[in-house]
Structure 1
Amino acid sequence: MSGCLAVNSNGRNGGLAMLWRDGIEVIIQSYSNMHIDSMVQMENKNYVLFTGFYGQADPNHRNLSWDMLRRIGRTVKENWIMGGGFNAILDNDKKDGGRRKPRVLTEDFRSVLEELALVDIKTSRGWFTWINNREGDAMVKERLDRFVFSSTACNAFLYIDTNVISQTSPDHEVIMLDTLGKKPKEKKDNPRLFFRFEVCWARDEKAKKIIKDSWCNYSDSILEKMNCICDSLGPWQFNNFNKRKHQINKLSKKLDDFIQAPSTQVNLNRIKETRLKLKKLYEQDEIYRTSTNTVNNMDICCIPKCVNDEMNKNLTQSFTDKEILRAFNQMDPRKAPNINGLPGIFFKKN
């Protein structure tokens, strides 16, 4: 992420962070340990007001949160999207287990949303976002986190989709918003046509066997051997990635079912066990994804010429074995010397 604003917590309360990718224009309007207010430019060049919010955890101070929202709401002229942990529920149907919340707390939250004309966006998958991790009748689950849209934003974003994403650690789940989540998908190219040797494959025994078999069972031409390796590793890459993705989705669905089930039917040990399995898969997926480098294009038209004819003559001479070996040992293990997608670590390990 190229942009970041982090706000420290006040003791155990508050603390927020907002991150955005390169190329996304974000203008911070105001912030505190309970909110970050920002203008975000969308693809159509229109601006949206996005507010990251964390509500007061202490019910006695909850009105301070609602007063802050009212102050922000009075200045809003654009489409407004707000998301975060509100630490409040709209009614007691939004919780499972434990004592009922005082009516005045739920009515205060509901009235501030109505006053600001904010619409609570229902999740497509998952519901409860917080669980107290206790067994049996002592277990409490609540929907404390949400996204809310202004009425104009609802009309501007027709394909919005929100989901609760189960996490590997207790006790809060993540809620995710996709403004194009429900838009019909365009047909994509076959992912098996895209190949790149990943650094993490150098430790994979199956990948090593595929490379060895392809190298030994083909012609004497090095280029043909390398093409054969790429053709063999491509389907393996596709199947291996899809298998892990399927396992993550399956465990996430299983964890969702455990958490969303009635408290009396929830087995806390099964939740913890599933979270640990999911954590291992996420770690494997992180290794896979972070091994790929992003290459930034550089404009070299403004760089002055600094190689004379004599230097050019020396540079264009045939390479000696000594020079090739020295260059080979200096090669970045993550860089591919050619368009075939085989980086330095492939040659060093095989």
Structure 2
Amino acid sequence: MRILSWNCRGLGNPRTVQTLRMIVKEKMPDVVFHMETKLPYGRADGIAKTLKFEGCCVSEAVGRSGGLILLWKQKDQVELVNFSRHHFNVLVNDTQCNFKWLLTCFYGHPNANLRKQTWDLLSSFKPSEGGWGVIGDFNEILLNDEKEGGRGRNENLMKMFRELIEEGNLIDLGWKTNKFTWCNRHEDESFTKERLDRALANLRWKGVYTEVSVETLPVICSDHSPILLSCSFERCSDYRFHSSFKYEANRINERGCREVVSEAWQGSHRGVSGLEKVFI
């Protein structure tokens, strides 16, 4: 399964839509989450149809800010639970591994003074049992090593974010290719980059998806990089090391073999089977 998350900073630009179409064609995500789309429902639904996604949910922009879109390829693969200006909650039915889990697509409040409200919102989604995955732009970092340039991040804000993850029993799924997902695009000494976008999951989710990667894609048409969560499970893990019985055809020519095999098939022997006697 593949989930694409991107703060696209406005999806009304034809170039941004073209970029999205290119990413979808190349990476083939099952679910696409967009933030800061700045679009009404009608235009968002049109983009979903253009990209040939069967499922679409929109949290409309307020004025010229905000706006979230969630798209999914197959209608029966995702079931919408609830949504707000900062999230979508859906149940994902992964038929490949017979696993149903909660996916939270999340957008942390861009205003640091109001971010605690979205932390409380996210914390309320923690399931009592079952798998839980979270992806999006959190507008916060965990530690100062997730930031280069500019002033140091407020320690209290980072601490609140760390506590949120700990209380939710979530694990950071890491990154691939590029640690930083946002930059301010300045070309002077004020240039800053941070890791604001990430994917998290609980232990139940991690126990099912043994092969996981979070790839940071190139920055195009936005100050945020898209991130692509890819997750799969290892097939045949329960029996890959089991030995199998093999009968060599030329053993039938050995003296007494025909009689032993015949008796074994008829079930006349008790204790050690006739077939085992061939190899004793």
Pairwise same-fold verdict (TM > 0.5): yes
- Number of aligned positions between the proteins: 182
Give the structure, 1 or 2, with the largest relative contact order (CA under 8 Å, sep 6 or more): 2
Q: Which one has a larger percent helix, Structure 1 or Structure 2?
A: 1
1:25 corresponds to which letter in structure 2? Answer: Q
Q: CA deviation at 1:181?
A: 9.4
Matches within 5 A, 1:119-138: 119-138=171-190
1:65 corresponds to which letter in structure 2? Answer: T
Query: Equivalents in 1 of 2:233, 2:193: separation in Å?
Result: 26
Query: Equivalents in 2 of 1:181, 1:135: separation in Å?
Result: 43
Matching residue of 1:46: 99
Unaligned runs of 5+ in 2: 1-52, 236-280
Q: CA deviation at 1:25?
A: 2.2
2:192 corresponds to which letter in structure 1? Answer: V
> CA contact under 8 A between 1:164 and 1:174: conserved in structure 2?
yes
* Among candidates 16, 19, 22, match of residue 74 of structure 2: 22
Query: Equivalents in 2 of 1:64, 1:116: separation in Å?
Result: 16
Identity %: 31
Over the aligned positions, Cα root-mean-square deviation in angstroms equals: 1.8
2:196 corresponds to which letter in structure 1? Answer: L
Q: Does 1:59 align with 2:99?
A: no
Q: CA deviation at 1:128?
A: 0.7
Query: Equivalents in 2 of 1:182, 1:147: separation in Å?
Result: 20
Matching residue of 1:173: 225
> CA contact under 8 A between 2:134 and 2:199: conserved in structure 1?
yes
1:81 corresponds to which letter in structure 2? Answer: G
Helix, strand or coil at the partner of 2:227 = strand
Q: Does 1:111 align with 2:153?
A: no
Matches within 5 A, 1:270-285: none
Query: Equivalents in 1 of 2:65, 2:134: separation in Å?
Result: 19
> CA contact under 8 A between 2:136 and 2:199: conserved in structure 1?
yes
Query: Equivalents in 1 of 2:154, 2:54: separation in Å?
Result: 43
- Distance verdict in 2 for CA 1:165–1:136, change over 3 Å: same
Matching residue of 1:155: 207
TM-score (norm: length of structure 2): 0.62
Query: Equivalents in 1 of 2:78, 2:201: separation in Å?
Result: 19
Q: CA deviation at 1:92?
A: 0.9
Helix, strand or coil at the partner of 1:167 = coil
Unaligned runs of 5+ in 1: 184-350
* Among candidates 142, 151, 157, match of residue 99 of structure 1: 151
Q: Which one has a larger percent strand, Structure 1 or Structure 2?
A: 2
> CA contact under 8 A between 2:55 and 2:75: conserved in structure 1?
no
Matching residue of 2:37: none
